[in-house]
């Protein structure tokens, strides 16, 4: 099946930056998970963080949550310490909080924009 929705992902120092767009299906999430693991394999020897910008995201199909949970379990075991999330709806916040319950080793903060997210991570000691 063809991907629906899109994303941008990059590393900035010890920070994985993800920007999500539109409505996702499971194919999009599977590619995101692969790209996240590939990129973060370069930085997991030290504490690292992510900025997840969902301000342009329109949710996804129910099947997306299983691969996201598996990715969360993997990153939780690989030095993941902080997660800054930029959202545009309370529903996104509720869904993300539920799906990220496995992140017992990371602190999550909801931010209004990317500048606030980078500032918080920098203050927490993450290399940017």
**What single DSSP character describes residue 4?**
-
**Rounded to an integer, what distance in angstroms lies between the CA atom of residue 36 and that of residue 75?**
9
**Rounded to an integer, what distance in angstroms lies between the CA atom of residue 16 and that of residue 50?**
4
Q: Where are the domains of the chain?
A: 6-123
**Which pLDDT band holds residue 100 (cuts at 50, 70, 90)?**
low
The helix (H) or strand (E) run that includes residue 41 is none
Using the predicted structure, report yes or no on whether residue 26 has a pLDDT greater than 90: yes
pLDDT at 1: 78
- Asked whether the beta carbons of 86 and 119 are under 8 A apart, the reply is no
Q: Domain 6-123 belongs to what topology? A: Transcription Regulator spoIIAA (3.30.750)
What whole-number percentage of the chain has pLDDT above 70?
97
DSSP letters spanning 65-126? HHHHHHHHHHHHTTTEEEEEEE-S-HHHHHHHHHHTTT-TT-EEEEESSHHHHHHHHHHTT-
């Amino acid at each position: 099946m063809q991907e629906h929705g899109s994303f941008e992902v990059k590393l900035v120092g010890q920070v994985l930056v993800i920007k999500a767009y539109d409505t996702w299906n499971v194919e999009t999430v599977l590619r995101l998970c692969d790209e996240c693991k590939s990129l973060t394999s370069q930085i997991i020897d030290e504490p690292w963080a992510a900025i997840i910008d969902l301000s342009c995201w329109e949710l996804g199909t129910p099947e997306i949550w299983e691969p996201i949970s598996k990715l969360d379990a993997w990153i939780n075991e690989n030095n993941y310490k902080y997660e800054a999330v930029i959202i545009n709806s309370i529903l996104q916040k509720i869904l993300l909080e539920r799906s990220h319950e496995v992140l017992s080793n990371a602190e999550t903060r909801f931010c209004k924009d990317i500048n606030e997210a980078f500032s918080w991570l920098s203050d927490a000691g993450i290399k940017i």
